[in-house]
Copies of this chain bind each other. A is one copy, B any other.
């Protein structure tokens, strides 16, 4: 594969500045903010996020590439062209793992040539092109196992879900490399969908949303608005019962009510969040304001009643679903890694649509906690569900809720999803608008934007999220506005410019704005104080009544039994409700520079009675130190009890 140096295919017009577009390369667009090209934003390798990109490059992505080979995903496609004889392996949507891995490889190539990635993409592209039928159809499950069932299994077939991931992979590869080979495969399949399901065609939707957001990205990349129209049509057709009844109910598929009425988060969490991202994409390019209104109402519902403190979603294992309002059990949190990734994607689109920092706050929370929890510190083991508590005595031999991260899963949707997000993570650091630059993720790195008045560049130094100071050297010589997000968790942020304290505070949208005629080398210092915080939940969150959670900066912390005093069972620890822990520079644990240490007590229960009249006596051990590590770093040692929510005495 030859890398072209120039631009992107199509006209990524609303990406600010020239260069390779990243995810969501807006076109005409209702957006308030515009993404920056991939080569205009980079994360410093010394930062948590930058280092994560390197781990993804060196471990997660290679792991995914190895597994789609070893687990049969590629062989499933080879079967279609007669190049493999084995039985189909994996789940019906096994192709999607190949596509997400391709997308990850595509975004990774933003950093320049990597022969092993290019070879993987080239070989897979040739295989896909060979497997694709003349009319554009491509799906190894239906072609290879149920050829008579093509486009006949919308509720569980995942046909357009897989197609969507192919489209996104092709867009990524095209944007970073300029090669349109995979894009050709994708557009042939998308054209088939347009012919069959477009205006005047069959009324149908896929049981698993994903095609909607993918079609909009394909539209952005190709400027062919039949893809946007089809995405709009899929959005409008949802909620009209086309999927029929199912044992999990129509809510599971978000097919219970039309999009403008479906403003309670419900059903399968990943489906709900992918659909929301797709709807927001359709709003961004299509412009129907009633869609944005519906998404804002859905967001309010979801984030005020149905979101874990880590930012994750999904309270039920049975159907991987949202629960009732305030039903947020920590031990049985489903909190699928894919749902966390989907929430990040949706919030990014809402941020672009509105410019409101609450969406960037959610991106930050879910990224540093729920998404990051999905992978081991080495990047080669994964959680699918991300519980907020692991009980003593947990039977951890079940893939559904293992006691530690696994190498791979029977349903391995999460690892390649992680990889495609992390490979493109720099894209989410900052945006621009006519007025200037907005810094959303406070990571060390570099940002450049072509503004109406000329170029603006930022060099950000910080050990965020471990440290509370963010230093920015602005390299520019004209007037524009620098907007710095002050996270909602932060009280008392302060700003200096060229060493002088500036009296400012964030606006209602969460950003401190500095407008001035910049001089090259101007130093801006943002301090976001990070005293450890003691969080409580709404009283209706029954599952954590009487408990507190510790947090510092954007990070939610947790107790793992490893770090407690010898002989102390995690389940017997109580902390004082009102007392905040202190932040302590840690040395021992890889990837954990700061722990929280607070005062607690031990309350043991003497006998085995499960229920009693009045009270169950406990005996205490006096005061003990209680040590918490960042939630996302748990389960990097031998399995041990863990809890985010700590009973308060």
Contacts and interface: CB of A to CB of B under 8 A. Distances in A.
B578 A304 contact: no
A578 B613 CA distance: 10
Q: Which of A251, A324, A393 has the most CB of B within 10 A?
A: A324
A537 interface: yes
A391 B326 contact: yes
A542 interface: yes
B325 A331 contact: no
Interface stretch (A98-106, A368-376, A515-523, A528-536): A528-536
Interface stretch (A178-186, A338-346, A440-448, A601-609): A601-609
Interface in A536-555: 536-547, 549
Interface centre among A395, A398, A536, A618 (most CB of B within 10 A): A395
A206 B305 CA distance: 43
Interface string A590-603: 00000000000001
Contacts of A330: 542
B395 A612 contact: no
A547 B542 CA distance: 9
A410 interface: yes
B317 A540 contact: no
Contacts of A247: 410
A304 B609 CA distance: 6
B327 A332 contact: yes
A134 interface: no
Nearest to A365: B611
Contact of A535 (B316, B324, B533, B613): B613
Contacts of A410: 247
A303 B610 CA distance: 8
A292 B612 CA distance: 27
A249 interface: yes
B611 A535 contact: yes
A542 B543 contact: yes
Contacts of A542: 330-331, 389, 543-544, 547, 645, 647
Nearest to A306: B610
Interface in A219-277: 247-249, 251, 266
A546 B543 contact: no
A620 B403 CA distance: 42
A139 B518 CA distance: 84
13 contacts: A266-B395, A318-B400, A324-B391, A324-B394, A330-B542, A389-B542, A489-B613, A533-B613, A536-B611, A536-B614, A537-B610, A539-B618, A542-B547
Cβ-closest 4 pairs across A and B: A546-B546, A304-B608, A317-B318, A325-B393
Interface of A: 247-249, 251, 266, 300, 303-305, 307, 309, 316-318, 323-327, 329-332, 389, 391-395, 397-398, 400, 410, 489, 533-547, 549, 571, 578, 603, 605, 608-616, 618, 645, 647
